[in-house]
Amino acid sequence: MTERTLAERLAQLRVQRPSPPPRLAVEDRAGALARWFGARLELTDGGATVVVERRVPLPPEEAAVLRRLPSTAYLDTETTGLSSGAGTVPFLAGIGVMDGNALVLRQLLLPDYPHERALLRRLCAELASQERMVTYNGRGFDLPLLDSRLTVHGFFVEQATLPDRHDDLLPVARRLWRRIVGGARLAEIEQAVLGVRRGLDCPSSEVPARYFGYLRSGSPEPLAAVLDHNLQDIVSLARLDATVLLLRDGGWRTARPLDHGGLALELLRAGDVEGAEEVLEHAITRTERTDGHRLRRMVTRLLVAAGEVDRAESIWRDGTRAGSLEAAWSWIEVARLRERQRGDLRGALDAARAADRVLDVAFALGRGGGMDDIGRARLVVGRRLRRLRRWVAAAERRLGRPAA
């Protein structure tokens, strides 16, 4: 058999390789995409944009609270990559705005790369008409990517027209629900808080591959699930915005699930100190011991900052009623308040002695947790007792009194 050269073998492979399906012309692709989704095709000097418009009714209570807000755009983008690097392009931008009791969604779809300028201009026009913009991880992904693409195309004027107010709900969701739900992905939060069940949803990790599949084949079919995914993201974003507002307005009293400590932080960020105190004091009596200690620490810090040391001590003393390790830690906090806020060394020493006695009881009754927990508490109480005894003795000597 005659040995073939490398060039001959490569030529044979080229002949045998099946040719790819013919790609539609750029103009035909945009029209086909619009017809597939029953959408509007907008043509400008920058290219073509496919605009899919949908209307989704919202629950009346949520719609009512959203109507009170400044005009707001709920933004979510789908991109050709999972990073915001220079090579990543947004091929779908969904914007939701309130209209009566419904959320009107406009999904701007990119027919092909040459049309990106048209999509970006259309997106900026939508956002510029609103006073506020809401995203989920927009500070970490959507906005840096949008800024990058606008800069690449020299759209500095359009960049300057974007809303000044941008609220990213991801940090809010982390504060309010992550400790309870176990995560803060939008799919996790919407399921636990809103009761949303997506069913056969397109995972975010598959989104770029679906767009590339469309570019190769010209068939819009792979993008249908992406548009549905994007729509649900925006609807959930608007409903979460309403949920947070309802919680701030007092809905936290019946809300489940909810991290009351996180809500208190959220209220503090909004400048509502009294509301934060009310949330924490309400939650302390309705939570587990370990979480109760965390909440007591938060509310007493607020009270001390407001000069209400008596209320702060009263809250810690409420936690000393059970003979447990948590009660011992509560006595330690009472001692700390008396020493640092009142300058009452003798009162602080009495509280430290009470903590020592409670530790004995907790250990005897088996309420002290593990030996490591008991040992750590013993060390803290022992150090505080020794220090306070020295200071009280020194103070008594200066006054000519017998030491405590």
How far separated are the first and last CA of the chain, in Å rounded? 108
Q: Confidence class of residue 401 from pLDDT cuts 50, 70 and 90?
A: low
pLDDT value at residue 305? 84
* Residue 22: pLDDT over 50: no
* Whole-number percent of the chain with pLDDT over 90: 52
- pLDDT 10s digits, 49-92: 999 999 999 999 999 999 999 999 999 999 999 776 778 999 99
User: How do residues 197-244 score in pLDDT, each as one tens digit?
Assistant: 888 888 888 999 999 999 998 899 999 999 999 999 999 999 999 999
Q: From residue 277, give the alpha-carbon distance in Å to each of 168, 263, 287, 305, 308.
A: 25, 11, 16, 12, 12
Cβ distance 29 to 111 under 8 Å?
yes
Eight-class DSSP state of 270: T
69 phi, psi to nearest 5 deg: -80, 160
Domain boundaries, the chain: 26-168+199-240, 251-399
Confidence of residue 45 (pLDDT cuts 50, 70, 90): confident
Cβ proximity of 142 and 162 under 8 Å: no
What SS3 class is residue 229? helix
Listed range (146-155, 277-286, 378-387) with the worst mean pLDDT: 277-286
pLDDT (tens digit, 9 = 90+) per residue, 300-347?
Answer: 888 888 788 888 888 888 878 766 788 888 889 899 999 899 889 999
Q: What is the pLDDT of residue 369?
A: 62
Counting Cα atoms < 13 Å in the Cβ hemisphere of 26 gives: 10
Q: Quick one: which of 387, 386, 362, 392 has its CA closest to 374?
A: 362
Model confidence, pTM: 0.77
Q: Read off the pLDDT of residues 333-387 as tens digits, 9 standing for 90 and up.
A: 899 999 899 889 999 999 999 888 888 887 776 665 666 777 888 888 889 999 9
Q: Which amino acid is at 61?
A: E
The class of domain 251-399 in CATH terms is: mainly alpha
pLDDT(116) > 70: yes
Mean model confidence pLDDT for the chain: 87
Q: Do domains 26-168+199-240 and 251-399 have the same CATH topology?
A: no
pLDDT of 388 above 50: yes
Please state which CATH class domain 26-168+199-240 belongs to.
alpha beta
